[in-house]
């Protein structure tokens, strides 16, 4: 139903996502084998990815969420506003930022700088998706699930006007319907 309504085209299947999440979870479990990292998910988009990632990890870990809003405005230099902060104390902790997608890179840059300011032991950045043709970053994303073209995508936590987050795969929207916002 939803797929037809919005004319969705599958970009990454649920099976491919599952496999990649398993690989990243295994990498993180190895990297922090003697530690208890804290995963910090960026709301709302990362909630499904974080849940699946955490359930596939084989080491002890904790989690928290932060909510940010970005305003691109008229120019390319948008700003990011903090909507909900983490409640955990991350000083001296191994922090793993979990993002759904890095587009311009503004959100992840803001968060990385903010969390680094709290003196964690380390900061690792994980993003399920990345649009490398768009992203303007002066640091590496440590783990990228999939590099994708600069198209608008939905599903597996990512939304279009707050909808379609529940879809099991990642889809490209080929027709945006302005009546469904």
Q: Which of residues 15, 60, 116, 152 is near ligand IMP by CB under 6 A?
A: 152
Distance CA 57, CA 60 (A): 8
The residue annotated as part of the active site, out of 103, 136, 138, 151, is 103
Query: In terms of CB distance, is 32 or 40 closer to ligand IMP?
Result: 40
List beta partners, residue 65.
Answer: 41
Distance CA 115, CA 134 (A): 24
Comparing CA positions, the residue from 101, 75, 79 lying closest to residue 11 is 101
List beta partners, residue 15.
Answer: none
Q: Which of residues 6, 17, 40, 45 is near ligand IMP by CB under 6 A?
A: 45
Interaction of residue 155 with ligand IMP, rule CB under 6 A: no
In the block, residue with structure tokens 């990815």: 49
Interaction of residue 100 with ligand IMP, rule CB under 6 A: yes
In what helix (H) or strand (E) does residue 8 lie, and over which residues does it extend?
A: strand 8-12
Interaction of residue 101 with ligand IMP, rule CB under 6 A: yes
Is there a catalytic annotation at residue 103? Answer: yes
Interaction of residue 127 with ligand IMP, rule CB under 6 A: no
Q: For binding to ligand IMP (CB under 6 A), which residues are involved? A: 42, 45, 70, 99-108, 152-154, 158
Q: Which residues are catalytic?
A: 103
């Amino acid at each position: 139903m939803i797929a037809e309504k919005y004319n969705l085209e599958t970009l990454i299947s649920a099976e491919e996502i599952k496999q990649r999440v398993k690989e990243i979870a295994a990498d993180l479990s190895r990297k922090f084998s003697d530690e208890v990292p804290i995963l910090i998910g960026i709301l709302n988009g990362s909630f499904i990815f974080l849940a699946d990632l955490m359930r596939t990890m084989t080491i002890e870990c904790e989690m928290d969420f932060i909510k940010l809003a970005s305003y691109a405005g008229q120019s390319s230099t948008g700003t990011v506003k903090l909507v909900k902060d983490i409640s955990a104390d991350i000083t001296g902790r191994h922090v793993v930022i979990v993002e759904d997608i890095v587009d311009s890179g503004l959100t992840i840059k803001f968060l990385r700088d903010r969390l680094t300011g709290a003196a964690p032991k380390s900061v690792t950045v994980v993003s399920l998706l990345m649009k490398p043709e768009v992203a303007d970053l002066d640091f590496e994303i440590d783990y990228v699930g999939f590099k994708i073209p600069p198209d608008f995508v939905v599903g597996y936590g990512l939304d279009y006007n707050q909808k379609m987050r529940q879809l099991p795969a990642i889809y490209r929207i080929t027709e945006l319907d302005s009546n469904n916002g």
